Amino acid sequence: MKRKDKRKPGDLRSVEIKAGVIEQADGSAMVKMGRTIAVAAVYGPREMHPRRMRKSERAFLKTTYRMAPFSTTDRCRPGRSRRSQEISMVTREALEPAIFLEEFPKTGIYLFIEIIQADAGTRTAGINAASVALADAGIPMRDLVASVAAGKIGKDYFLDLEYKEEEETAADVPVAYMPRTKEITLLQMDGDLSVKDMKGVLQTAIKGCEIMYEKQKQALRERWGPNAADVKKELKTKTAKPPSGTLRGTPSGAQASTKTEKKR
Amino acid sequence: MIIQNQHVLNMASKGQRIDNRGQDEYREIDIERNPVEKAEGSAKVTLGKTIVIAGIKMGIGKPFSDRPDEGVLMVNAEFSPIASPNFEIGPPGDDAVELARVVDRGIRESHAIDLRKLCIEKDEKVWMVNVDIHIINHSGNLIDASAMASIAALWEVRLPELKGNEINYDKKTSKRLPMTAKPVPVTFVKMEGNLFMDPGLEEEEVMEARLTVTTRDNGNIVSLQKGGAKPFTQDEIENAFALAEKKTKELRKLLN
Amino acid sequence: MKRGVYMSEMIKNDREFVLPGDEIINSMDYLPGRSCFRDGNSIYSKRLGLVSVRGRVISVISLSGVYVPRGGDMVIGKVEDIHSAGWVVNIESVGEAFLPLSGVREFIDTTKTDLSKFYAVGDVIYAKINSANPHSIHLSMQDPRARKFRSGRIVNMSPAKVPRLIGKEGSMINVIKDKSGCRINVGQNGLVWFEGEKEDLVVDAINLVEKDAARDGLTNKVSLMLNGK
C-alpha cells in the first residue's frame, strides 16, 4: 500500500520545530507536522486564578487548546467547543506526568495551544509544541513528551496520518509517550481494529514518538545549546522588554524609559 | 472519604479492594428497559450504587453537509447536582464532556446505528438521534454505566409516527432503529501499579490513571480513552486489552 | 571515574549542555542537587541548562525559567498594597512577597504611623528575601544593601541568567561597574537597577550576557566589548 505523499508507512510527515517563538511568553514553541501548524506558549508558574482552582500541594497546569477559525477548510467557529474542551483535558493529562508540579504549590502554569492550520494530528502537534514550550520555559520535567498518531490502511500500519489518510484509515490512534521512562501518557482510539492490530498500531505510534522526541530535543539545542546557530534578534528584543506586569513603572523621579535600545 | 484514601491504596498495592471484589470483578449490574415512557427509548443502569438513565429522543433535521445521506447522532451528558455533592449547575465540565464523547465514539465507531438508513430525503431531511445521559447517583465508573445505558436504550427505540415534516410523538410505530452492534466498554483504573476493573468512587479519587477499552461484538476494539494524571506502560495497556476482551463477552450478555 | 566499589559512569561532563530528562551520571555515589533528580541508579536533569559538578553533588544551572525565591537573595520589587502588618510587594515571581513590620529597621507604632510614609504603593525597593517557602515569601530591609530607589533605570533580563551577569565572586558585574561608571543593583529576580555615566554600556553588557550565557569565555567577551566603546 503506497501513501499518497510517497512516505513509507513508518515515516513521519516533514517535521519542523522551533523553540522560543513568542517573545512575551516564558516559554514557547511552534511545531509543523506536514501542513498542520501548532503554536504553544507557557506562562508561569505564577499565581493561580481563580483561587478555587488552586491546589495546595502542587501547581495546576491550566491547559487551553484552541483552533483558529481559518485553520480549517470550512471556517470553524471561534470559542470553546466540546471537542476543544476534551482535547484541552487530554493534553493536560498527557503532559502532567512529565512535570514536577509538586515544586510549585498553589501556583498555575498556563499553557495555551493554538492550531494555526489543521490537517490531521492537531492534538499530537499541540502536545509536541507544548512539551518543547514547557522545557523552553524552564519548567522542571522528568522528560519531554512526544506525540504521534498511527492508523491502519489496507494491511499496513501507517504513522502520522495526514488529512486524506485519516478518511481511509481503519482507526486513528493518537499516542503521547515519554521515551526515557517508556510510559504512555495519552492514548485514544476511534475505529475498528482487532486486538492484534491494535497492538501493532500502538507499537508504530510509539516508534514515531521516539523519532519526534529527537526532533524536539534538536529544536531546544538549536535555541539554547552552546553551538546554537547565532542567536537571533528576538533575544535582543527580549531584553528590550520593560519590566513586565505591574512592575512596569519606574521609581518616582527616575528616568521614565526602561527601554534598552542603543541610542548613541 | 478523604481519610479512606490511604486505606484504598494500601489494599490496592496488594491487589485487594475495599469492597472485597476481585481485580476483574464488576459490581452488580442491573439494566431496566424503558423506565421512561415519554422517551422513544430509555434504559436505567444500576452499577453497584451508581445509577444512570439514558433516554433517546428522536427528531427531524437537516443532515451535515459532509454527510448528506446520513442521520445525525448526538450524545449529551448531564451531571445533575442530585447525583453528587461535587456536581454544580452550569455549562458541562470537562468530565461531562469527556463522558459524552467517549460514549459517542463507542456507538459511532462500531457503526452500532446504520445512520444511512436514517436518511429520509438526501440533503434535506434525516432522523436525528438524541442520546441524553442523566447521572442520578455518582458512585464511580460513569463511563461504563452510561455507555451500557445508552446502547440498551438505543436498542429499545420505537420510532414515532412521521407525518410530512411533523413527528407525532404520541403515536409510536413498531419500527426500530437500524441497530447493528452492541459496543461494550470496560474501564480500568491503575492504582499502585495494579489494574482494577469498574472503579468505585473511592478508587477513582485515588487512581493514578484510567483506561476505557470499548469493543464490538466480534471482539474488535472500536474506541480507547486514557484519563488521569499518570502514565501507563505498554505492557499494562496490552494486558488491559486481553482482560477487556474476556470481560466484554460477559457484559454483552446483559444487553441481550 | 571510580569511587568505592561502584562504577560511576559520567554521561555528561561538567559544564555540558543538557535537556530535561537527560541522564547525567550513572552512580549511587553522587547526590542530585538543584534542577536534578534521581531515578534508579542515575541522576537526570530537570531543566535545560549546564551541568555543574561540585564534589559529590550534581546540579544543573538552568538557562531559562521564572524566578523562584531563595532565602538570602536580593530582589527588586514594587509595593502593591499596604496591610496593617506590612507591605505586599510584587517581585515578579511565583507568588507575591510580604515585607512585615519586623523587616524594617525602625520601630513602627502602627497606631500612630501611616505605613505609606515608609513605603508607599508604587515605590520600588531593593530587598532581601528573608525566608521563602512554597507558602510564603518574606522580605527584609535589614540589610546594608537594601534601599528604596528614587531615580535611575531598571531593565529586566531572564532570571536564570542573573548568575552569569554577576559572575564568579562578582567578577563580571565588577567589570561592568568599572567600565560604565554606574552604580548597579542586581535583583536575583531578573531586574537590574543602574544609574551613572554610561548607562547604555550596562544595557549592552546585559544584552550580551543574555545572548551568550551558555558559552565559555563570557567575561572576556564582555570586557572586550566594553573596552571597545
Counting residues of chain B whose pLDDT is more than 70, the rounded percentage is 99
- Nearest CB partner across the interface for B94, out of A74, A89, A183: A89
Highest mean pLDDT among A41-50, A222-231, A255-264, B195-204: B195-204
Question: A115-118 long-range CB contacts below 8 Å, 24 or more apart?
Answer: A115/A36, A115/A37, A115/A38, A115/A65, A115/A66, A115/A67, A115/A68, A115/A71, A116/A37, A116/A38, A116/A39, A116/A68, A116/A71, A117/A35, A117/A36, A117/A37, A117/A68, A117/A71, A118/A36, A118/A67, A118/A71, A118/A72
User: How many angstroms separate the CA of residue A107 from the nearest CA in chain B?
Assistant: 17
Q: Is there contact between C and B if contact means ≥3 C-beta pairs under 8 Å? A: no
Mean pLDDT of B75-79: 91
Confidence of residue C213 (pLDDT cuts 50, 70, 90): low
What pLDDT is attached to residue A244?
38
Determine the Cα–Cα distance for residues C222 and C217; give it in Å rounded to an integer. Answer: 9
Confidence of residue C229 (pLDDT cuts 50, 70, 90): low
What pLDDT is attached to residue A228?
64
Q: Enter the CATH code of domain A15-224.
A: 3.30.230.70
Interface check A170 vs B, CB under 8 A: no
What pLDDT is attached to residue A252?
43
- Nearest CB partner across the interface for B231, out of A82, A97, A189: A97
Determine the Cα–Cα distance for residues A258 and A156; give it in Å rounded to an integer. Answer: 60
Q: Under a CB-based contact definition with an 8 Å cutoff, are residues B91 and B168 in contact?
A: no
Determine the Cα–Cα distance for residues B126 and B61; give it in Å rounded to an integer. Answer: 6
Work out how many domains chain B is built from and give that number: 1
- pLDDT of C100 higher than 50: yes
- Residue B55 falls inside a structural domain: yes
Owning domain of residue B200: 8-255
- Residue B3 falls inside a structural domain: no
Interface check B230 vs A, CB under 8 A: yes
- pLDDT of A227 higher than 80: no
Burial class (CB in 10 A: 0-12, 13-18, 19+), C57: middle
Mutate which of A21, A233, A241, A247 to test chain C, going by most C C-beta atoms within 10 A? A247
Write out pLDDT tens, residues A235-255.
433 433 333 333 433 444 444
Here the cell at position A89 is: 483535558
Highest mean pLDDT among A170-179, C95-104, C220-229: A170-179
Q: Under a CB-based contact definition with an 8 Å cutoff, are residues C66 and C93 in contact?
A: yes
- Select the more confidently predicted residue: C188 or B7: C188
What pLDDT is attached to residue A251?
42
Q: Is B226 left (phi over 0), alpha (psi -120 to 50) or beta?
A: beta
Interchain proximity A199–B238, CB inside 8 Å: yes
Confidence of residue C156 (pLDDT cuts 50, 70, 90): confident
User: How many angstroms separate the CA of residue A222 from the nearest CA in chain C?
Assistant: 11
- Residue B117 falls inside a structural domain: yes
Mean pLDDT of A115-124: 95
Measured between beta carbons, which residues in chain B are less than 8 angstroms from residue A185? 226, 231
Interface check A155 vs B, CB under 8 A: no
Mutate which of B212, B214, B220, B237 to test chain A, going by most A C-beta atoms within 10 A? B220
- Residue B170 falls inside a structural domain: yes
Mean pLDDT of A1-20: 91
Confidence of residue C1 (pLDDT cuts 50, 70, 90): very low
Determine the Cα–Cα distance for residues A198 and A195; give it in Å rounded to an integer. Answer: 5
Residue in this structure with the C-alpha cell 410530512, named with its chain if needed = B164
Interchain proximity C150–A263, CB inside 8 Å: no
Counting residues of chain A whose pLDDT is more than 90, the rounded percentage is 70
Q: Is there contact between B and A if contact means ≥3 C-beta pairs under 8 Å? A: yes
Q: How many CB atoms lie within 10 A of CB A83?
A: 15
Q: Under a CB-based contact definition with an 8 Å cutoff, are residues C81 and A157 in contact?
A: no
Q: Do domains C74-148 and C153-228 have the same CATH topology?
A: no
Interchain proximity A46–C66, CB inside 8 Å: yes
Interchain proximity B110–A173, CB inside 8 Å: no
Determine the Cα–Cα distance for residues B63 and B118; give it in Å rounded to an integer. Answer: 10
Q: Is C81 left (phi over 0), alpha (psi -120 to 50) or beta?
A: beta
Measured between beta carbons, which residues in chain C are less than 8 angstroms from residue A139? 47, 65
Mean pLDDT of A116-128: 96
Q: Where are the domains of chain C?
A: 11-62, 74-148, 153-228
Determine the Cα–Cα distance for residues B26 and C82; give it in Å rounded to an integer. Answer: 58
Instruction: Report, at the CATH architecture level, how domain C11-62 is classified.
Output: Beta Barrel (2.40)
The CATH H-level (homologous superfamily) assignment of domain C74-148 is: Nucleic acid-binding proteins (2.40.50.140)
- Sheet containing strand C36-39, edge to edge, reads C9-10, C23-26, C42-45, C36-39
Interface check C21 vs A, CB under 8 A: yes
Interchain proximity B221–A195, CB inside 8 Å: yes
- Nearest CB partner across the interface for B234, out of A89, A194, A202: A202
Measured between beta carbons, which residues in chain A are less than 8 angstroms from residue C216? 226
- Residue B217 falls inside a structural domain: yes
Q: Is B57 left (phi over 0), alpha (psi -120 to 50) or beta?
A: beta
Chains A, C: CB pairs < 8 Å: 166
Mutate which of C36, C94, C215 to test chain A, going by most A C-beta atoms within 10 A? C94
**DSSP reduced 3-state for A264:** coil
Interface check C46 vs A, CB under 8 A: yes
- pLDDT of B53 higher than 60: yes
- Residue B1 falls inside a structural domain: no
> Which subunits count as partners of chain C given 3+ CB pairs below 8 Å?
A
Counting residues of chain B whose pLDDT is more than 90, the rounded percentage is 85
Interchain proximity C154–A250, CB inside 8 Å: yes
Measured between beta carbons, which residues in chain A are less than 8 angstroms from residue B219? 194-195
Q: Is there contact between A and C if contact means ≥3 C-beta pairs under 8 Å? A: yes
- Select the more confidently predicted residue: A19 or B66: A19
- Select the more confidently predicted residue: C78 or C221: C78
Q: Enter the CATH code of domain C153-228.
A: 3.30.1370.10
Interchain proximity A192–B245, CB inside 8 Å: no
Write out pLDDT tens, residues C23-69.
999 999 999 999 999 999 999 999 999 999 999 999 999 989 899 89
Q: Under a CB-based contact definition with an 8 Å cutoff, are residues B226 and B236 in contact?
A: no
For residue C168, the Cα-to-chain-centroid distance in whole angstroms is: 13
Q: Under a CB-based contact definition with an 8 Å cutoff, are residues C145 and C126 in contact?
A: yes
Q: Where are the domains of chain A?
A: 15-224
- pLDDT of A263 higher than 60: no
- Residue B2 falls inside a structural domain: no
Q: Alpha-carbon torsion B53, B57, B61, B65, what sign?
A: positive
Here the cell at position A94 is: 498527557
What CATH number should be reported for the domain holding residue B38?
3.30.230.70
